[in-house]
Structure formats: C-alpha cells, structure tokens
Homo-oligomer: A and B are copies of this chain.
Amino acid sequence: MSHEQLASIKINQDRLMNDIHTTCEWGKGEPWGDGPTETGMSRLSLSDTDKQARDWFAETTTSLGCKVHTDQMGNQFAIRPGLSNDEPPTYAGSHLDTQPTGGRYDGILGVTAAVEMLRTLNDNWIETNYPVGVVNWTNEEGARFPMSMVSSGVWAGSVPLEKAHNLKSVIPSNDTATMKSELERIGYLGKVPASYKSTPMAAHFELHIEQGPILEAENRRVGVVQGVQAYKWFTVTVRGRDSHTGATSFQHRADALLTSAKMILASHKIATRHKALASTGILGLKPGSTNTVPGFVKFSLDIRAPLDETVEAVEKDCRQAFEAIAAGENAYGVNDLCHPSDRQCSVEWVTDFVSPATHFHDDCISCVQQAGSDLCGGGEVNGKGIGAWGKLMTSGAGHDSVYTNKHCPTSMIFVPCRDGVSHNPAEYSSPDQCGDGANVLMGAVLRYDRLRGQR
C-alpha cells in the first residue's frame, strides 16, 4: 500500500461505538448520567459477563475470517491471514475485563478498536503482507485475581503458569474460586500453552485511554507512547508512642502521624526535585481516638519515574529523609516552626513490588507517530519534535504491552479521557476521541506490516 492509500483508509466510528456499547451491556455498572450508555462497568475477569464478552469476541472475529485460539490462561488470539503466513502476525489488542467500579473504555476500547480494524480491512479488501492479529488478554486489571497483567505475564514467561492458575478470587462471596477453576467453569481453559513460543507475535500495538489528564489539558488528540514508567511500591511503618493529646506536651511526644505527615510531604518534595512521582494512597493508624496521639502509622509509598535510576535516586533520598525526620531532624524544611520533640520515632521499609522501566521499540513508536500525523494533518514526525496534534508520552500505569515488549516490538496509543478519570464509572472518551485512537491503531498496524514487507 502506498502512503496515500494508507492515509485514506478510515475506520467506521459509529460501528466502533456500537461495538463498545453493545458489548458493555454485559457487566453494566453504576450510572453516572441519564443516557442508556452513561453507566460504568463491572465486568470482573472470568465472570459470567466476561464469558459473554469473550463469546462475542470469538464469534465476531471468526465471522470476520479469523482463526481464533485460546491459551491456558484464557488469552484469546484471532488471526487474519496475510499474503505470507510463515511469520507471526502483527497484533493489536488489550483486555475486556474491568475494575468492579470501572468504566467503558479502559481495555475495552483497545479490543473493540482492534476488531473494528478487522472489519475495516475486510470492507476495503485489504491484504496485508503478513497476518494481523487481535488479542484479548485475561485479568489485566488484577481486580478479581490479585495480579495485574498476569496472563500476558505468563505468556512472556515472567509469571509461572501454576502461580497464575492458583490465584484466588478476592471477591469475598466467591473466595475459593481460582483462576484455573474459573477458566474451566466458563469454558476458556485453552489447550495451547500460554507462551510467546506457542503464540509468537511480530509486534504488539495497544490503544488505551490515557488515564491521566495531560492530553486533555494540552488539547492534544493522540499520545504516542514511548514506554512505561519504572515504579517501586513500599509499605512504610512509623512507630512512636501512644499518648494523651491533652496531657502530653509536644516535647514529650513521639507522634507517629505527625512524623508520617512530614514524611509524605518530604517524599513529594524529593519527587518534585527529581521530576518523578511519589504518592501515598493508603494510610492506617493505631489506636485511632481523638484524644490519643497515634503511636503507630503504616502507609504506602509509590515512586515512579521514566528511568530506573530516577526511581532509585528518589528512594534513596526518601530513605535518608525519613530516617532524619523520624530522628527529629529538619530534612526538607519539614520541621521549620515545629516544636522540637525529645522523643524519636522509628521507621521501617518493606519493598512490595518492583517494576523496571519499559522502553518501547523505535519502529513501533515511529509507526504510531506517522499514523497520528497522517490522521491529524501533519506536524513534524521525522525530526525530534511532534506536531500540536500529539504528544510523546511515558505511560504512568502498567499495561499488557509491558510484557509483550519483552518478546516483540511494542508501542501504545493514548487518547484523552475526560478529566483524566479512569477506574471510575464516569470514565469517558468521546466518539471522536475513540475514533482517533482506532484510526491510529489501524494505521500503525498497517505501517508496521508495510515496514516488515520492505525488509
């Protein structure tokens, strides 16, 4: 296909939106508006409604001429043949499961847009050089079986199959179910090994809502995703001493909450200095009484940055600062104007999770950028810059593409979502925004296929 042909083919936006909202009848969640499609989603992985969505995926892609297979993790792969079928397909895909109080776009947009790509290729009688595939990854959210991206992780060889199969449902009413038992129950325990060896990919492209507010705030249509941030998760425990709020002067306190407040503030200052992120999303304390100074606080700390070295540097600075703050010193000005205490707290760190930085493949990034530029009417592509239509981004959240990137060239496409909100019923991207994403996804896949043909 010529560049002009590539730039002229467009997906059918109405048909895409119809696929999104039709499939979202299965697992419909809380309403956020009055319209029939203004609800969130509650489609937990391997539930009865997830089975309905899976059945739709298999039937639809089969009817579109694909060969469909399911692996031992329930990952579904639909393959549309190309002119030459000796090499692996170029894939597009994402996931159909949602958070318990999730929305209609996170994951779902990526799969439905890939299916719409198949429809558009058929409509236009397009024959690709190599096969094109669509994938639906199982339990990406980790909301029912508590490990995010577990099934692409097994595919990549990063998570052992048995460990994944034995993950237990965290839904209290159904907590004896395992991934394996639920895969069997709904008929999606495939026989194909869950492995990049059995289901190889030439490339993996994933369209996703941004889940952040940057594209909307900067009025850009497409995010060209260069990689995924590194992150490390910690649990920090601060121990002081319970004491009476009325009878204990500041000097004699070892206030674990005040100390933790200083630490949270210091972590923010340190991350700001390193152009990184540091966040606390969980905080618990004991004993929890208005007139008792808490002697015990436990909080989460989530450090992220595009580079592993930056995460390490933020962690190192935070460890030093927290020690100093627990000892009553004035790290990062947190003790300015405070009354000095003659009692100290202790601080203890536990590392819960480490995810190194992911750098996507230049060829895939370039295909996404060219597709975006063609769709949106130009702007610099081959130089270092990018037109006003788009933005080169690093994903803050993890995605299945982190695992595919270990075994094949990968990139992602982001589209804006309202107020940056996701994992929430009110998550929303407009039909135009969804259409933009689907066009760039298809454009990137076709450009990558052309690139393969040119080698």
Binding site for B on A (CB under 8 A): 210-214, 217, 229, 231, 233, 241-250, 252, 255, 257-258, 260-262, 264-265, 268-269, 271-273, 277, 279-283, 285, 288-294, 300, 302, 304, 332-334, 336-339, 352, 395-398, 419-424
A94 to B248, CA, bound (A): 21
A14 to B264, CA, bound (A): 51
Whether the Cβ atoms of B334 and A265 lie closer than 8 Å is yes
A140 to B233, CA, bound (A): 45
A420 to B343, CA, bound (A): 12
- CB-based closest 6 A-B pairs: A246-B396, A212-B247, A247-B396, A245-B279, A261-B261, A269-B337
Whether the Cβ atoms of B231 and A246 lie closer than 8 Å is yes
Whether the Cβ atoms of B302 and A337 lie closer than 8 Å is no
Chain B residue nearest to A287 in the complex (CB): B281
Beyond A212-B243, A269-B338, 17 additional pairs, beta carbon < 8 A: A211-B247, A241-B419, A244-B422, A246-B277, A246-B395, A247-B395, A247-B422, A252-B420, A258-B265, A261-B261, A265-B334, A269-B336, A272-B338, A281-B291, A282-B288, A282-B290, A333-B336
Whether the Cβ atoms of B214 and A245 lie closer than 8 Å is no
A211 nearest CB across to chain B (Å): 4
Across-interface contacts of A233 in B (CB, < 8 A): 290-291
Across-interface contacts of A273 in B (CB, < 8 A): 337
Chain B residue nearest to A217 in the complex (CB): B252
A269 to B304, CA, bound (A): 31
**16 interchain pairs, CB-CB under 8 A:** A210-B247, A212-B252, A233-B290, A241-B421, A244-B396, A244-B422, A244-B423, A247-B395, A257-B264, A257-B283, A261-B262, A261-B264, A279-B291, A281-B292, A283-B283, A333-B337
The interface centre, meaning the residue of A241, A280, A333 with most chain B CB atoms within 10 A of its CB, is A280
Across-interface contacts of A258 in B (CB, < 8 A): 264-265, 268, 280
Across-interface contacts of A229 in B (CB, < 8 A): 246
Whether the Cβ atoms of B396 and A245 lie closer than 8 Å is yes
